[in-house]
Structure 1
Amino acid sequence: MAGAAVVSAVVLLVLAWYFRPWLHTTVYGVYTTPVIPLAAAIGLVLAGVARRYLGPFVSGQIGVFVFIVVLVASVSVTGLLAGEELGKATMESVGTASSLSETDPGKPRVVTKAVASRYASNTLNFPQYRIEGGDITVRDGTPYWSYALAPDGAFNYYTKRQHGTVLVDMTRQNAEVDTVVGDLKKGVGPAFYNNYRFAMFKQANYLVAYDDPFMVVHEGDQHIAVPYTKPEFHWFPLPYTTPEWGGVVLIDSDGRIEDLSPTEAREHPVLQDQKLYPFELTRQKVAATKYRNGIVNTFTSHEDEIEVAPVPGEGNDQPFLVFTEDGPEYVVAVEPYGQAQGLKEVWTVDARTGEYEIYTPSRSLFGARKATDYVRQAARTTDWNRFRPSEPIPVVVDGQLYWQVRVVPSDSSGIAYTAFVNARSTDVHEVSTTAEVAAFLRGDPVATGRDDEPAPGDRTPTIVVQRVAPNGTVIETLEVYGNETVRVVQGNTTATASG
């Protein structure tokens, strides 16, 4: 019997070691909760004392009860301690910005995440695959929404690999979708023996927290990049951990895995121009600055307390990645705690170095939530039962802060128009096309309608011309107004239609 028990224990240990990626959530949770040994020690000591008077069974129950109570109480306290430590450390290391970086007009963020997902799904022409993920990548200097072409259905899940990468140009209002085809040995979506995550936990750093992956297409080759954080331990007054940037794991199409430090990631040729800093860490650190005046303040007077502004984004929330003339930056707009919706601070984080800066407006500006209200007020003829404002991102044009709000149909089938709301004057500028968005970001005058014609968003086209793909997806739309004409050329035949 003893021999069989030993053999069973060895087999279980071997299986646990091989399938350790499946145990990561539990193992990492225990590893980053150092109060567990303390709670266990207190429970054992009290159980030992009780054993002398109450017997082994009752003392065991007391020990378990004490362990649970001490653990729950300790985790609650250490959660507050970790938040305060992270917030104060962030405030101590952040730089002060006198102004915000000008937005790069050559890389406008036009397509929202929800619309990009719809574009990617509508143009998909692989019946055995589906799109998975949705994150920003850069190819040849242009930012795209990237998706993995993952196996679809139970049979394909076990028998196929990731088949490629779907890229949606985020700088173009219409559906500009490119699919890079090629199986990845370790990819996103298939069963564990073909899955990047299972391989990554076995070959890269195990005791870290990985962000969501994003696809990188470099010189025609596909790669998976995964930023991650690692815990930093603190021991007084109770043991707890706070996250810090650990690096980036890079996986190529042949399944080779590189665990890169932040410096190595910035120097790697495949990751040039890519965002590298973890998204979740950005939000977590900025949100933790609400503890800048201490834990007690957050439960009493709330002096100088902030909160990350909640914004409409259809599954996509702050921070938003924007491309400025100084490079890619995460931008987080924060409001005062409570009912106030003014703009208290704008945090910018270099998406490649992780350097934080804070911009505090010298005059009163309204925040992201209020910007969507002004868009609704300005477009009185828009049917807000069928459309919604989405992803208000801060952009800077000629030193002026604007909220760039995309108005999209309820089914996320496209971009109806884009509204730029001046954060100081509340003026709303509506533009209809990609060219007009770029012109506005350059600071060029943008025609918003002639005297005899309503402005974009308020006018109704007399002719709508759509370029349609074989599968029925609308690739491009041309709206014709007033006395404009449409000329169609086919071979040597020309036909003209008047608007």
Structure 2
Amino acid sequence: MLRDRILRDDMFRDTISKIKKVILIVVLIISVFLYVCRPFFHGFFMRCYTNPAFLLAFVALGAGIMIRLFSDRFKWTIVVGAIFFVALLVGSMFVAEGKRVEIYKDISSNIVEIDTFPESTSIRLMPYQIARNNMTNNLTLEQFRLGKLDFVVLDGEMWWNAALIPDGTWIYYRMKPYGAMFINACETETEIIKIKQDLEVAEGIGISDNIYWRLYKDIDYWSDYSDPFYIPYDNNTKIMTVVSKIDYKLDSWTFVPLRKPVFGGVVLIDGEGNMKYVSPEKIDEEPILHGQQVFPEAIARLYGESFAYKRGVWNAWIAHKDQTELNDVPGEGNFMPYLIMVQDENGEPIPMWFMALEPYGTTYGLKKVLLVDAIDGTVYSWSKGENEQSVGAVKSIEHAKSSDTFRNVNWADFRLIEPIPIFKEGTMYWKLTMTRYTQTGITNIVLIEASNPENVIVFKDGAEFQQFLTEGATDTVEMSMDQLLHEIDVLLQKIKDLPSDAKSPILVELEEKLERLLSLLEES
């Protein structure tokens, strides 16, 4: 009997030994596979890297499964592991919120408070969707389509740009992008530049020549990267691809480790696929990057979101005292922050990320404006006075639609889209674009004064709008005032022509107020 028991123990040990060898081989194969194909799993590993609680959740579950497989003593190990898995997974969500708390702590001491707005320049007139539709309509290459649209600054003006990437599953693996397409965002008329150049490393192609595959393998796996944009050079014969790099800095929130995103520099990629990393300190030394929006949009948005957490997570989730939030306009495909151009102290155009912060809840007034320097990440903050009125981006569209200017417009055929801020002589306006539902052209340009939303100004084209920016009120605005004076005078005369016994007390009072209003308007 003892012999049989020893024999069974030997067989059990042999079985365990074989299982361990198989597991070791499987682990080695999986490890080699994960290393070779690591760009495929970048999203998952970065989630674990930036949020350690998320990684610990899977470690707890895996440990529970392994212990249960190799031991009969701990029957509840899987259950305990599952409980830890859920707890840590939920905890990782709290850590994600804590990241915003720590980001606000980082930037709060360096925020530059401003009481006047910088002057706008090179204002973007062509909204995202109209630009995309116009570029698509002018594309005659049957094997290519537009990639993601982004901005590039050319001679102080913003241009929409996108790569022309292969369109189709087979050619996704076989062909290179055709080049890139550019459309002037500061004009209402379509001005397009198309540059042909094979891009050896680019977006929208597979597999090993994909831009992100190469960035993860050749530059830094433990970083994230922005969407690429394209800079033409050598007299518009060549294209330089630019990608901003997002690194992560180890920190903690209430003794829980986390990693916060920081600007990690820029990667330049030429048409032959050669990559060059440029650190944040060396960006000024690269002439091709002069005046470009290299500071990542994703980090700028996190800055805006972090203001909701300046009093901590409890206040952001429960109390909501003195809380702001970043409200995107519903139905818009283009989210804040918006890229705008303003003048620096020397009158030179510089790119800025703009965000409008509104009070928490269902109110849509403008409470704070954030401007993030799109070159170095400096944060500027303007706060509304306690007794001042100012409307936000969401309500600017409603104010425009309800104005007398558009009382005869059938909004089933037209849309007001993309409220963009404009700063003129210290006053902030919301610029809206009126377009048909097809969104292929600009019908009118509309300005709404943020602090006086009843002041709605309509321009028929870009030339008239530019005249307003340089000279003040256009002829169209002055004619509208003359028309208003005329209509008040006609109405006043009709009341005066009524017999005295036919005038009610209300009409008498209205007559007096119209006379006073007419006098004030004529004096102004």
TM-score normalised per structure 1: 0.84
The Cα shift of 1:92 comes to 2.6
> What is the match of residue 446 of structure 1?
474
> What is the match of residue 196 of structure 1?
211
Task: Tell whether 2:375 aligns with 1:352.
Answer: yes
Structure (1/2) with the larger helix percentage:
2
**Equivalent residue letter for 1:411:** T
Checking the alignment, whether the CA contact within 8 Å between 1:147 and 1:166 is kept in structure 2 is yes
Deviation per residue, 1:154-173 (Å, 9 max, x gap): 23212110111000110110
Checking the alignment, whether the CA contact within 8 Å between 1:88 and 1:289 is kept in structure 2 is no
Higher relative contact order (CA 8 A, sep 6+): 1
Cα distance in 2 between the residues matched to 1:177 and 1:237:
53
Cα distance in 2 between the residues matched to 1:276 and 1:164:
21
Cα distance in 2 between the residues matched to 1:111 and 1:372:
17
> What is the match of residue 222 of structure 1?
239
Q: 1:354 to 1:422 in 2, by over 3 A?
A: same
The Cα shift of 1:454 comes to 11
The Cα shift of 1:136 comes to 0.5
Checking the alignment, whether the CA contact within 8 Å between 1:158 and 1:191 is kept in structure 2 is yes
> What is the match of residue 461 of structure 2?
433
Deviation per residue, 1:21-44 (Å, 9 max, x gap): 111111111111212465567779
The Cα shift of 1:381 comes to 2.2
The Cα shift of 1:218 comes to 2.3
- Secondary structure of 1:366's partner? coil
Cα distance in 2 between the residues matched to 1:37 and 1:245:
24
Structure (1/2) with the larger strand percentage:
1
Aligned 1:40-51 pairs, distance under 5 A: none
The Cα shift of 1:424 comes to 1.7
Checking the alignment, whether the CA contact within 8 Å between 1:266 and 1:352 is kept in structure 2 is no
The Cα shift of 1:395 comes to 0.8
The Cα shift of 1:47 comes to 9.2
Deviation per residue, 1:182-229 (Å, 9 max, x gap): 111111212213322211111111101212111221233212111122
Task: Tell whether 2:321 aligns with 1:320.
Answer: no
Q: 2:257 aligns with which of 239, 242, 248?
A: 239
Checking the alignment, whether the CA contact within 8 Å between 1:308 and 1:332 is kept in structure 2 is yes
Checking the alignment, whether the CA contact within 8 Å between 1:44 and 1:63 is kept in structure 2 is no
Cα distance in 2 between the residues matched to 1:195 and 1:250:
15
Larger Rg computed on CA atoms: 2
Deviates more, 1:162-171 or 1:215-224: 215-224
Task: Tell whether 2:402 aligns with 1:377.
Answer: yes
- Secondary structure of 1:287's partner? helix
Aligned 1:291-310 pairs, distance under 5 A: 291-310=309-328
**Equivalent residue letter for 2:274:** R
Aligned 1:471-490 pairs, distance under 5 A: none
The Cα shift of 1:439 comes to 1.8
> What is the match of residue 388 of structure 1?
415
Q: 2:392 aligns with which of 367, 373, 392?
A: 367
Q: 1:148 to 1:30 in 2, by over 3 A?
A: same
Checking the alignment, whether the CA contact within 8 Å between 2:245 and 2:264 is kept in structure 1 is yes
Q: 1:187 to 1:454 in 2, by over 3 A?
A: farther
Deviation per residue, 1:435-460 (Å, 9 max, x gap): 122222224331227859999xxxxx
> What is the match of residue 519 of structure 2?
none
Cα distance in 2 between the residues matched to 1:26 and 1:230:
16
Number of residue pairs matched by the alignment: 452
Aligned 1:53-92 pairs, distance under 5 A: 55-56=72-73, 58-92=75-109
Task: Tell whether 2:76 aligns with 1:19.
Answer: no
Deviation per residue, 1:239-284 (Å, 9 max, x gap): 2222121122221111011122122233312211210111111111
Checking the alignment, whether the CA contact within 8 Å between 2:358 and 2:392 is kept in structure 1 is yes
Cα distance in 2 between the residues matched to 1:22 and 1:271:
30
Structure 2 unmatched ranges of 5 or more: 1-17, 345-349, 484-524
Give percent identity, aligned residues only: 26
Structure 1 unmatched ranges of 5 or more: 456-499
Indicate the RMSD between aligned Cα atoms, in angstroms: 2.8
- Secondary structure of 2:272's partner? coil
Q: 1:149 aligns with which of 164, 171, 189?
A: 164
> What is the match of residue 170 of structure 1?
185
